[in-house]
């Protein structure tokens, strides 16, 4: 049961994910969360550094889709200026939005990575479909109400995994 919450990789930031490394691993598509993965949950726009990362990913021929549990207005206002397709109100960890992103990108599951900051939504949702999941440290130390509840449960799950020797990174 705990393995469903275990990411394949853990990195400090989206910027620690090299487009070259993704290409070497055969990755052709990224499904990424938005809030506290790419930018702070209350930041409306992409940072210049993030825009540069998006550009370098796209230059390698890697497709990106943002899959967020947030509202259409929030996700659209972030995604449209940077030209990235999105799925809003995704209801992660349910798999429907992940499946739609895979279908829209016209890629195989083994060619896609899921990047997110939450075990209970991003990692669990990606793992349920057998996708390669990458957990990032949240970019902000504050969260919305439901995310705060999730974080408490995540700390318990991480504690259990650590005790069982399943994880080997620092929180």
The pTM assigned to this predicted structure is 0.88
Query: Any idea what the CATH number is for the domain that residue 109 is in?
Result: 3.40.50.1000
What pLDDT digit, counting tens, does each position of 73-123 carry? 999 999 999 999 999 999 999 999 999 999 999 999 999 999 999 999 999
Number of domains, the chain: 1
Chain-centre distance for alpha carbon 2: 19
Judge whether 171 lies within some domain: no
Confirm if 75 and 66 have CB atoms less than 8 A apart: yes
Say which residues have a Cβ less than 8 Å from residue 24's Cβ, sequence separation at least 6. none
For residue 49, pLDDT over 90 is answered with yes
Judge whether 170 lies within some domain: no
What is residue 1's predicted lDDT score, i.e. its pLDDT? Answer: 65
From CA 159, how far away is CA 95, in angstroms rounded? 26
For residue 130, pLDDT over 60 is answered with yes
Domain of residue 62 covers 2-163
**Given pLDDT bands bounded at 50, 70 and 90, which one contains residue 160?**
confident
Judge whether 168 lies within some domain: no
């Amino acid at each position: 049961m705990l393995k469903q919450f275990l990411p394949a990789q853990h990195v400090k930031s989206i910027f620690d994910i090299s487009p070259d490394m993704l290409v070497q691993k055969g990755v052709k598509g990224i499904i990424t969360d938005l809030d506290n993965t790419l930018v702070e949950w209350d930041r409306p726009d992409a940072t210049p550094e993030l825009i540069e990362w998006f550009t370098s990913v796209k230059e390698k021929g890697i497709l990106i889709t943002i899959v967020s549990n947030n509202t259409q207005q929030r996700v659209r206002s972030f995604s449209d200026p940077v030209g990235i397709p999105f799925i809003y109100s995704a209801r992660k960890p349910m798999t429907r939005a992940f499946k739609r992103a895979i279908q829209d990108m016209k890629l195989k599951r083994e060619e896609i990575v899921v990047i997110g900051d939450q075990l209970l939504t991003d990692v669990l949702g990606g793992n349920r479909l057998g996708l390669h999941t990458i957990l990032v440290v949240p970019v902000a130390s504050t969260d919305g109400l439901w995310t705060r509840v999730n974080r408490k449960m995540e700390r318990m799950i991480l504690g259990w995994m650590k005790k069982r020797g399943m994880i080997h990174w620092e929180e």
